[in-house]
C-alpha cells in the first residue's frame, strides 16, 4: 500500500524541548528525528520548521502564519500535523478553524507533556495518533492527545501536567485509539463549511473577563475607554451576572459603544442559557450575545475572527447562532 504523504509543521513547545540553563527550551525538529524515523516506516513525511516558540509566546500573528502555511501547502499532502506547545494549543486549534473554513485536508495539532527526549515522554503516542488521523481522509481541524482525537474548536486543556491533558468539552471524541486501531466517530467529525478559503484577518481587541463576586463594574467602562471591540464574559452558572452594583449599566455602555459582548459560563461543561433567570433576561434585553456551550477558547477566537472580518454587532450575533465547525450544539 502506498504511504500517505504527511506534512509536519513544527512550532516548538514541550514536545521539541531540551533542558537549558533556565529550564526547558524549544528546539527545531532535529530533536524529533528519532521518533520521526520510526513513523517514516508508515508515512511519507516532510518536515518544515515553521517557528520555534514556547506556546505561551504564540499570538494571533502566529495563528495567521500557521493558517497561511496550511492553506498554501495542503494540496501537496494527504494531511498535515502541527506540533505545538500544550499551553495555548486549544486557542490555536480554535483560531485556525475559523481562518480555514472548508479545509479540504485533515489538519491535526498535537504536542506532549514531557519532551520527546525524555524516556517516559507521551510525545511518541501523541504523534502516532496525530499522524493516523492526518492520514484518515477526514477533513477538518483536530487536536490529538492521549490516544484521543477531538475537534479543534471543542478542545480544552484541563491538566497542567497529567498525560490526559485535553478534553473534548460538550462534544464526543472524533476518534479514539484502541486494539481496533483508530476508530472514527463519523457523527463527531467537523461539518464541512463550503469550499476551502483562507480568512486570516483577526482582531486582538477582544477581552476575556472572568466574573468574580464583588467585581468592580467600572471594569466595563475601562474596557470601552481602552478601545476594545469585543468582550467575552465568563459568567456564573447559566449566565448569572451581579446586577445590584451598576454591573448592567457598565455592560449597557459597552453595547451602546458598539462593543460585541458575548456571555458564556465559567462551568467547563453544559451551556449558558440567559433565558432561565431574570438577570440573564436583562442581559438579553441589552443586546448581549449568548455563548451557549462553546468553550472560552472557541468563543474568544470566534469573536476575534468575526471582528477581524469587519462584522458589526448584529452580524456577530447572527454568527454566534451559527454552528460553523461543531463549536456549538443547536
Residue 221, C-beta contacts closer than 8 angstroms, at least 6 positions apart:
250, 253
- Return d(Cα 100, Cα 94) in angstroms, integer: 10
**Separation of first and last alpha carbons in the chain:** 41
Among the listed residues 10, 11, 14, 301, the single catalytic one is 14
Reply yes or no on whether 14 is catalytic.
yes
Would strands 155-157 and 166-168 be described as parallel, antiparallel, or unpaired?
A: antiparallel
The residues annotated as belonging to the active site are: 14
Amino acid at each position: 500500500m502506498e504511504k500517505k504523504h504527511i506534512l509536519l509543521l513544527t512550532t516548538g513547545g514541550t514536545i521539541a524541548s531540551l533542558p537549558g540553563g533556565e529550564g526547558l527550551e524549544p528546539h527545531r525538529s532535529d530533536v524529533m528525528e528519532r521518533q520521526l524515523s520510526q513513523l517514516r516506516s508508515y508515512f511519507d513525511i516532510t518536515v518544515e520548521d515553521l517557528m520555534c516558540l514556547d506556546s505561551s509566546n504564540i499570538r494571533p500573528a502566529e495563528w495567521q502564519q500557521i493558517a497561511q502555511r496550511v492553506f498554501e501547502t495542503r494540496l501537496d499532502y494527504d494531511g498535515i500535523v502541527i506540533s505545538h506547545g500544550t499551553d495555548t494549543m486549544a486557542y490555536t486549534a480554535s483560531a485556525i478553524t475559523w481562518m480555514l473554513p472548508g479545509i479540504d485536508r485533515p489538519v491535526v495539532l498535537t504536542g506532549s507533556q514531557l519532551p520527546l527526549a525524555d524516556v517516559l515522554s507521551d510525545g511518541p503516542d501523541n504523534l502516532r495518533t496525530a499522524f493516523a488521523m492526518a492520514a484518515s481522509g477526514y477533513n477538518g481541524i483536530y487536536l490529538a492527545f492521549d490516544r484521543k482525537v477531538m475537534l479543534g474548536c471543542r478542545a480544552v486543556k484541563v491538566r497542567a501536567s497529567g498525560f490526559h491533558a485535553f478534553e473534548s468539552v460538550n462534544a464526543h471524541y472524533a476518534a479514539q485509539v484502541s486494539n481496533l486501531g483508530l476508530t472514527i466517530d463519523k457523527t463527531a467529525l467537523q461539518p464541512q463549511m463550503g469550499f476551502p478559503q483562507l480568512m486570516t484577518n483577526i482582531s486582538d481587541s477582544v477581552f476575556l473577563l472572568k466574573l468574580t463576586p464583588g467585581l468592580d463594574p467600572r471594569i466595563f467602562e475601562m474596557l470601552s475607554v481602552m478601545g476594545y471591540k469585543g468582550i467575552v464574559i465568563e459568567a456564573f452558572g447559566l449566565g448569572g451576572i451581579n446586577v445590584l452594583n451598576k454591573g448592567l449599566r457598565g455592560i449597557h455602555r459597552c453595547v451602546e459603544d458598539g462593543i460585541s459582548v458575548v456571555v458564556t459560563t465559567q462551568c467547563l461543561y453544559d451551556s449558558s442559557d440567559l433565558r432561565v433567570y431574570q438577570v440573564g433576561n436583562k442581559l438579553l434585553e441589552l443586546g448581549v450575545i449568548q455563548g451557549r456551550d462553546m468553550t472560552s477558547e472557541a468563543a474568544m477566537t470566534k469573536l476575534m475572527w468575526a471582528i477581524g472580518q469587519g462584522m458589526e454587532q448584529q452580524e456577530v450575533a447572527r454568527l454566534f447562532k451559527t454552528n460553523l465547525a461543531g463549536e456549538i450544539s443547536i
